[in-house]
Chains A and B, each alone.
Chain A
Amino acid sequence: MAKWGMTIDLDRCTACQACVTACQVENNLPPTGPEEARQGRNFTWMEMIPFEGEGERPKGIERLLPRPCLHCDNPPCVKVCPVEATFKNEEGIVGQIFSRCIGCRYCTTACPYTARYFNWNEPQWPSPMNRPLNPDVSVRTKGVVEKCTLCHHRLQNARDQARAENRPLHDGEYTPACVESCPAGAMVFGDLSAPNSEVSKLAHSRRAYKLLEDLGTEPKVIYLREGE
């Protein structure tokens, strides 16, 4: 069984935010403005967070770190859900059942990475943006929690394709939108359990580290330290 994961090379990342935009388009995230941002109500399954990198740097230069859901192997959010609306599947993806979520927001408070989002209002797409939405991703209603799914619908499509052609799923056939969109090639996605996959090699490289590793959440999104 595959164990999907990702590495993000902070040396290559230019913080261009292509991944943020690609994610929003791919996953039908409703657009939000400065007012929503001020209230903490914008949707950014992939978010650029300011962080302290290592080493000296001139004052005023802020580093940004792309943060999707880290798909922890030991997810604190899954533990606390009272209705099993969030779960970790056998391939390690932490998913969300939008139609079951009761909106208690226990998972959102339990997640140490603040990687979960709540629909405070009914999502709306203003007129220039009311183009057809991605039919593969369900549109959420107000009152439920949502999060990065590692573009799980892409996995399903790729697997259906492979099954139709009566062959196994090849490496690289399933890639989330953020990884696909990265112009600097900073993100690598694949099967962490396959020892020879690129992602697996990078995840075991000297530069690899995990966010808030000491919490024991075992994220499957792994960062590669910059400056080497």
Chain B
Amino acid sequence: MSAVADTHAQEHHHGPAKGISRWLLTTNHKDIGTMYLVFSFAMFLLGGTMAMVIRAELFQPGLQIVQPEFFNQMTTMHGLIMVFGAVMPAFVGLANWMLPLMIGAPDMALPRMNNWSFWLLPCAFLILVSTLFMEGGAPNFGWTFYAPLSTTYGPPSTTFFIFAVHIMGISSIMGAINVIATILNLRAPGMTLMKMPLFVWTWLITAFLLIAVMPVLAGVVTMMLMDINFGTSFFDASGGGDPVLFQHVFWFFGHPEVYIMILPAFGAVSHIIPAFSRKPLFGYASMVYAVGAIALLSFVVWAHHMFTVGIPIAGQLFFMYATMLIAVPTGVKVFNWVATMFRGSLTFEAPMLFAVAFVILFTIGGFSGLMLAIAPADFQYHDTYFVVAHFHYVLVPGAIFGIFASAYFWLPKWTGHMYDETLAKTHFWLSFVGMNLAFFPMHFLGLAGMPRRIPDYALQFADFNMISSIGAFMFGVTQLLFLLIVIKCVRGGKEAAAKPWDGAEGLEWTVPSPAPYHTFATPPEVK
């Protein structure tokens, strides 16, 4: 045992390997975290480019730029890439970087698996993106890929799409196992569960959600694979199957999935708001319980995505009530954040700007979510732009602003330099205005009756669509600024102190900036 410990101690003096093998073979949580973040941003730009194509086509009524076939491929790929390629890997990247630093661990618990779960991702997305160049085009059935449109009527590339989803799923499950193993086993002495930072808590719960539902996604795509290639009829009514079964299985995965994309952001924001309010987080325990409650409820609300498929009224009522209940723990979280700011000593650096916008705009997305939960009203909202507005409000200023807030908050720790505050504030304000301009009018469009996923629309929707497109272009172009800010910050800038934010708390600020290649070789003591 002591011999093993000795070799470890020696290895810790080594820096990273040279050249490409550092990245291909690395088992270092910081390197892997960086790769996840870079990959995620690349996917964000790719998915964003597709959104620009969509908004350009919708700039005016009529078909101008793309044909409906390609338009459908764009909406599908945009959704898939943003969900599985941009948001989820970004949070895994943050987890890789920050979880060991926050709990005082030397690395993730399963470093080799960590390497593998990252490198599976580029493979999966290479397959997914390559479908764009296949005969018959990329998947064109929406990111929710409802059968039988995606089975009997799907393009030949559907099988590649299924394979890509399987690989992503394996990657996510391994990532989640790693997170759980790390948090449960490698915490510094004295860090009891109820002393864990909230980002650690939210990721622990997220990881359990991932393990619970990614196999369900794998199951549903496998059923599709069988229907397409092996003559089964899971979703084909003419063979005795049920197309609605697809939706039940998909949304049993899909609803927890949306919390997978937001809970880590809840955690990060729960660090950032106290830091820039210079005041401890209000209601730590209730924050933890609220996240737990949201996660549990997420398993019993899936059919609220299916209010119009004709489920029996008893089911309709159950899913309506259960969905409305989610507002309670979510409300508690929002109230806690506001109470944390209340009577603090506030400053508004870029992380705080993004975090405050997160709270406000995510709450607006929560409000429209509450409206959507009212089953009778959902008959009017369902599958209109109101829904598009809703989920973009929880995903863009929710998940994405949460990621930007985290990135600015921890960039000094990662790079050892302060980012350019003026540019970062410009990035924030342009994103904020662009995002609201793009997505707020979508509420009006949906209420006025515009269905989602259409390449062309009736004339009464023209004005708001044009505004929405202008906002989207503005938001899209602004994101290149973020790339510039990060590159600038990596290459130089004001030296960052170990704790660059005076109100920040936590073990990650006890190590120097930039964080050394190996940290916490001896665990710190937590009182």
To the question of whether A and B form a pair in one complex, the answer is: no
